[in-house]
Amino acid sequence: MSDEKLPVVPGEHDSSVVVAEPIPDPGIEPHEPRITDIDPKAADRVERQVATLFSLAGLLALGSCVAYFAIPRDSTLEFGPLSGNANNLVIGLCLGLALFMIGAGAIQWAKKLMVDTEISEERHDAHSSPAQKADIIEGFQVGVAESGFTRRKLIRRSLIGAMGLLGLPAIVMLRDLGPLPGRSLYNTIWAKGIRVVNDVTLRPIKPSDLIVGQLVNAAPANLAPMQEESAVEYQNAKAKASVIVVRIAPNEIRVPAGRENWGVDGILCYSKICTHVGCPISLYEQQTHHVLCPCHQSTFDLADGAKVVFGPAARPLPQLPLAVDAEGYLVAQSGFTEPVGPSFWERG
């Protein structure tokens, strides 16, 4: 693109002209002496200040070592409503102040005692000189010619191909980072006849244990025994199988089509794992039957099929069909009929 199409900048090729107009550069302002430049007493005073800061820093460094050994590590210091671990606090204060004083001393020294006359240094263009450029170009061309890299196409192409293919093992070797997802996101450990248990007491729940308006965090009865066998399997299962059991006055419930027999006397069971990004939802508002996810505030109406009433979640919480077993405890009629937790591509 030609020069006249560029924005209009007067004196483009000599930038010093640009800044000198309309007022000529008066040059660096004359140095104004500081009090420490004129008055030796003031300078001595600053010297004492700096030396005091440095000495105190040394003492505080020692102090932190003394505190390390002298203060029991479980003692606390209290200042009204504030309290802290004494060992931690005193070591930290000594170290922090020591470091700060070294810094403050050095800066005071630089600002008050070191020569503060501004000096000017020439800049040079970032690019290389024409002679350097010519040298490099010549050297490069000689190198290219001597190697025959441009002339011998077979060598060039096979090399580029080989280098490109080397990228493949770099990716393939990472294959064993994890198993393939398979069907694992579709299944939980819930199945027909599994009892619903309180997730803290692990006791099975009878419909009569729940009053209207109550919400219980629950888990499948077969979860807790997994902990003995494998902590990781237990955590993974828990991350999918956690549920909430809620009892709502039957006349307030709007039952979605096909789920007429999924509840027991107004007792409904939903996945506790948010359909947004998988946080366990737990904030229940009894009067509105809304449950709120504390992570991103998606709000679900448990009386209306756990539909989303607010927030970023796009799908209702999956519902677990409930029944009562022979002994009168709540059990699952089956596993979840859809994957729980956040959405994923293959989910459909």
Partner 1 sequence: MSTTKDFPPPVKWVDDRLGIGKIGKKNLRKVFPDHWSFMLGEIALYSFIILILTGIFLTLWFKPSMGEVEYQGSYSLLKGLHMSEAYASTLDITFDVRGGLLMRQIHHWAAVLFVASMMVHLLRIFFTGAFRKPRELNWVIGFGMLFLGIIEGFIGYGLPDDLLSGTGLRITQGMIQASPVIGTYLSFFIFGGEFPGNEFVSRFFTIHVLLIPGLILALVTAHLFLVVYHKHTQYPGPGRTEKNVVGYPLMPVYMAKAGGFFFVVFGVTALMGALLQINPVWLYGPYNPAEVTAGSQPDWYMGWLEGSVRLMPGFESHFWGVTLSWNLLIPALIIPPAFVTLVALYPFIEQWITGDKREHHLLDRPRNMPTRTGIGAAFITFYGLLWIGGGNDLIATHFGVSLNNVTWFLRVMIFLGPVFAFWATRRIAISLQRSDNDRILHGLESGIIMRLPHGEYIEKHTPISTYEAYELTARDRILPLDIGPETDENGVRAPKRAINKVRARLSRFYFADSVQKPTAEEIAEAHAHGHHDDHEELGHAAEVPGLTGTVEVDDETAREQITKH
**77 interacts with partner 1 by CB under 8 A:** no
What would the x/- binding string for partner 1 be over residues 303 to 332, using CB under 8 A? -----x-xxxxxx-----------------
Q: Quick one: 282 or 324, whose CB is closer to partner 1?
A: 282
**Bridge-partner residues for 267, per DSSP?**
247, 264
**116 interacts with partner 1 by CB under 8 A:** yes
Of these, 78, 80, 81, 121, which contacts partner 1 (CB under 8 A)? Answer: 121
| Amino acid sitting at position 337 | T
Q: How many residues bind partner 1 (CB under 8 A)?
A: 108
**296 interacts with partner 1 by CB under 8 A:** yes
* Min separation Cβ 296 and partner 1, Å: 5
Cα–Cα distance measured from residue 31 to residue 70, given in angstroms and rounded to the nearest whole number: 52
**109 interacts with partner 1 by CB under 8 A:** yes
CA atoms within 13 A on the CB side of 322: 28
Q: Closest by alpha carbon to 89, among 109, 67, 107, 118? A: 67
Q: Quick one: 100 or 149, whose CB is closer to partner 1?
A: 100
Q: Quick one: 119 or 165, whose CB is closer to partner 1?
A: 119
What would the x/- binding string for partner 1 be over residues 2 to 41, using CB under 8 A? --xxxxxxx-x--xx-xx-xxxxxxxxx------------
**Residues 233 to 262: which contact partner 1 by CB under 8 A?**
235-236, 238-240, 242
- Residue 13 token pair: 């090729």
Instruction: Classify residue 207 by its DSSP letter.
Output: G
Cα–Cα distance measured from residue 206 to residue 331, given in angstroms and rounded to the nearest whole number: 9
**97 interacts with partner 1 by CB under 8 A:** yes
Helix (H) or strand (E) segment spanning residue 19? helix 15-20
Buried b (16+ CB within 10 A) or exposed e, 19-42: eeeeeeeeeeeeeeeeebbeeeee
